Amino acid sequence: MPLTGTGEIVAPARDGGHGVGAFNVIQLEHAEAIVAGAEGVGAPVILQISENAVRYHGGLAPIGAATLAVARAAGVPVAVHLDHATDRSLVRQAVELGFTSVMFDASALDYEQNVRATAEVVAFCHEAGVWVEAELGEVGGKDGVHAPGVRTDPGEGAAFTRRTGVDALAVAVGTSHAMLTRDAVLDLELIGALRAAVPVPLVLHGSSGVADETLAAAVAHGMTKINIATHLNKAFTTAVRHRLTADSCLVDTRVYLGDGRTAVTAEVSRLLRLLTEPCGAAPAAVAR
C-alpha cells in the first residue's frame, strides 16, 4: 500500500470522534511490530521517529529509510512522522526522505518565539506537502522531570494555531513523558475546552503514563492523535528479559528480539482497538 499522508489518517479520526495510535520506532523491530499490530486489527497507524532515536542511530537516513520501507509494504494505511524535532535541519532531512509529517517542538521558547519559529517551519513544510504538528505548553518529563502544573490555555492554543498554520497541536493536560507507571491524572474538562477552541486535531504526548480507561476518556473528550513510546518499550524489554533469563546460553539475537517484536505487536493491536472505538458524538467543531 502506498505511504499515507498523516492528515489523511488524523482528520477522519477527529471527525469520527475516535483516536489514532502514533507509536515510536527505535529499532527496525519496532516498525515491523507496530505495522503487524495495526494489520491485525485493520487500523491505520502512525510510525514516529524522535530526535532522540535519530541521535541514537547517528543520523536520520538509515532508520528513516527502513521505517519508510516497512510503511510502504503495509497492508493498512501507514504514515511516517518525525517526532519532537528541535533542529530545523532535521526537519528538512525528513521532508527530503519522504516523511509525511513532522512535529516541530519549539515549546521551550517563549510564546512569541515559538510562534515565529513554528510558522517558518510550517511554511517550508506546507510548500512540500508535509503536515506539521507543534506543541504549546511544554509537556513534562523530557529530562525525567514531571511538570504537573503546566497546562495549555484554550484561547492561547486557538491563537497559536491561527498564527502558525499548524495542522495539529500537542497540548499539556497532565501527562509527562517517559512515565513507567500508568497513573497520570488528565484534566478532561480542559481537553473538552481545547477541543472546542482549537480548530485542528489535538495530540496527547506522554500517553504511556495514562491508564486505558483514561485514554478512552481523553479521546471521548477530544484528543485524536495518541503518542505512545515508553509503554511499548516496557513490553519489548520484558519479553526480551524473560527469554534471556530462561536461556542463559542464547546468543541468537533473532530469537530474543523476535520475542520483543511479538510482544509489541500484541500490545499495539490491543491499544488500537481501544483508541479506534467510536466514542460517541464529538463536540461541535469550530469553523475554520
Which residues form the catalytic set?
83
Please answer whether residues 93 and 125 qualify as being in contact, where contact means their C-beta atoms are separated by less than 8 angstroms: no
In the chain, the percentage of residues whose pLDDT exceeds 90 is 73
- Paired strand residues for 250: none
Residue 144 confidence (pLDDT) above 60:
no
Q: How many CB atoms lie within 10 A of CB 20?
A: 27
Cell numbers placing 6: 498523516
Which residue type does 53 have? Answer: A
User: 134: pLDDT confidence band, cut at 50, 70 and 90?
Assistant: very high
Residue 146 confidence (pLDDT) above 80:
no
Place of cell 514531571: 146
Residue 163 confidence (pLDDT) above 70:
yes
Range of the domain at 149: 6-276
Please answer whether residues 187 and 173 qualify as being in contact, where contact means their C-beta atoms are separated by less than 8 angstroms: yes
Instruction: Average the pLDDT over 11-27 and give the result.
Output: 96
User: 282: pLDDT confidence band, cut at 50, 70 and 90?
Assistant: very low
Whole-number Å distance between alpha carbons of 54 and 61 = 9
Strands (E), 40-188: 45-50, 78-85, 101-104, 131-136, 168-171
Q: Assess if residue 284 is contained within a domain.
A: no
Q: Assess if residue 288 is contained within a domain.
A: no
Q: Assess if residue 281 is contained within a domain.
A: no
Q: Assess if residue 287 is contained within a domain.
A: no
Instruction: Average the pLDDT over 3-32 and give the result.
Output: 96
pLDDT at 147: 52
Residue 162 confidence (pLDDT) above 80:
yes
pLDDT at 174: 64
pLDDT at 213: 86
Instruction: Average the pLDDT over 162-170 and give the result.
Output: 96
CATH number at residue 91: 3.20.20.70
pLDDT at 150: 72
Within 13 A of 158's CA, how many CA atoms are on the CB side?
A: 13
Q: Assess if residue 285 is contained within a domain.
A: no
Question: Residue 81's closest CA among 57, 108, 55, 60?
Answer: 60
Q: Assess if residue 202 is contained within a domain.
A: yes
CA end-to-end span of the chain: 32
How confident is the model over 36-59, as pLDDT tens digits?
Answer: 999 999 999 999 999 999 999 999
Instruction: Report the number of distinct structural domains present in the chain.
Output: 1
Instruction: Average the pLDDT over 214-237 and give the result.
Output: 93
pLDDT at 288: 26
Whole-number Å distance between alpha carbons of 270 and 37 = 8
User: 128: pLDDT confidence band, cut at 50, 70 and 90?
Assistant: very high
Higher-pLDDT residue of 137, 224:
224
Question: Residue 228's closest CA among 67, 73, 46?
Answer: 46
pLDDT at 205: 85
Q: Assess if residue 282 is contained within a domain.
A: no
CA dihedral 7, 9, 11, 16 (to 10 degrees): 180
Q: Assess if residue 52 is contained within a domain.
A: yes
How confident is the model over 185-221, as pLDDT tens digits?
Answer: 678 889 989 999 999 999 998 777 688 888 999 999 9
Arithmetic mean of pLDDT over the chain: 88
How confident is the model over 63-115, as pLDDT tens digits?
Answer: 999 999 999 999 999 999 999 999 999 999 999 999 999 999 887 788 899 89
Question: Residue 181's closest CA among 221, 141, 151, 219?
Answer: 141
Residue 149 confidence (pLDDT) above 80:
no
Instruction: Average the pLDDT over 249-259 and give the result.
Output: 97
Which residue type does 199 have? Answer: P
